[in-house]
Each structure stands twice: as C-alpha cells, then as structure tokens.
Amino acid sequence: MIISTTAGALRTAVDGTDIPAGWACLVRRGMLHSECEAVEHWALPQGAVLTATPRHGVEEALLVLEGEVLLGADSGERVLRAGHLALLPHGCRARLRAEGGPARLVTVRALAASVSDRLPPRVPELLPS
C-alpha cells in the first residue's frame, strides 16, 4: 500500500535541503501495530544524498535494491551494493550518497528501545465476528 509518493525533489524538514529523489512511503506508524515508524522506498539519482541524524529519533535498516551507495558514518565509509543491508542504531549520524549511477533502496525506521520500552503495549483492536 503506497500512502504517499513524489517524483520530484523533496525539501527536508530538518535542515531545509533538497533531496532530488523519487520517494514512496509504503507504511506509516500505527498501520503495523508495532514500533515501526515507517517503511520507505527511495529512488536516488546519481549524487543524491540522504542523511540520518540523532534528531530523527529512530533506528534504521537500509536495504540496497539496485545500484550502490556510499555510507559515511562516524566509524568510516563503506560502499553498499544491491543486496547489502546496513543497520543504523539510534543516535547514529550517517550520510548516504548514490554512487556511479542511480540507486534504489528500502528503509525501515523503528522507534529506539529507549522510547518503545516506555510505551504501553499496543494491541490491535479485534473486530466482532
């Protein structure tokens, strides 16, 4: 289920920079009855950059579907290719840049354990039979 999509540039709310990327939000929080914040599909043209900052307040899994991206973090830089998965812990500062051509990836954002441990249990409502 695609909730929202754009084929043009995005302007980030955090620092106001443009992200020249195709984007589709596949799932938003509350739809999964879990602590998942969002599942997003990104189509990045060559040179496009995505950032992760502690201000996002989430943990993130990044799965590269096509192409390659350069992941830069405090621990160094690494090239991720199709099929590679990167896990970004809560509080991580990272930068992804599409390298050598366009890239497609899926991101799964989840609440950090320090947040979700304080929330009441979420139980889906049962529909009457």
Tell me the domain boundaries of the chain: 4-105
pLDDT value of position 20: 47
β-pairing verdict for 94-111 and 36-44: antiparallel
pLDDT 10s digits, 34-90: 667 778 888 899 999 988 888 777 888 899 999 999 999 888 999 999 999 998 888
Q: What is the DSSP letter of 55?
A: G
Closest C-alpha among 6, 42, 8, 41 to residue 27: 41
β-pairing verdict for 85-88 and 58-73: antiparallel
Closest C-alpha among 106, 7, 24, 93 to residue 62: 106
pLDDT value of position 82: 92
Q: Which fold does the domain 4-105 belong to in CATH?
A: Jelly Rolls (2.60.120)
Check residues 117 and 75 and name the one with the higher pLDDT. Answer: 75
Beta carbons of 48 and 98 less than 8 angstroms apart: yes
Residues forming a β-bridge with 107: 40, 62
Handedness of CA 76, 14, 12, 27 (dihedral sign): positive
Beta carbons of 21 and 12 less than 8 angstroms apart: no
- pTM comes to 0.68
Check residues 127 and 20 and name the one with the higher pLDDT. Answer: 127
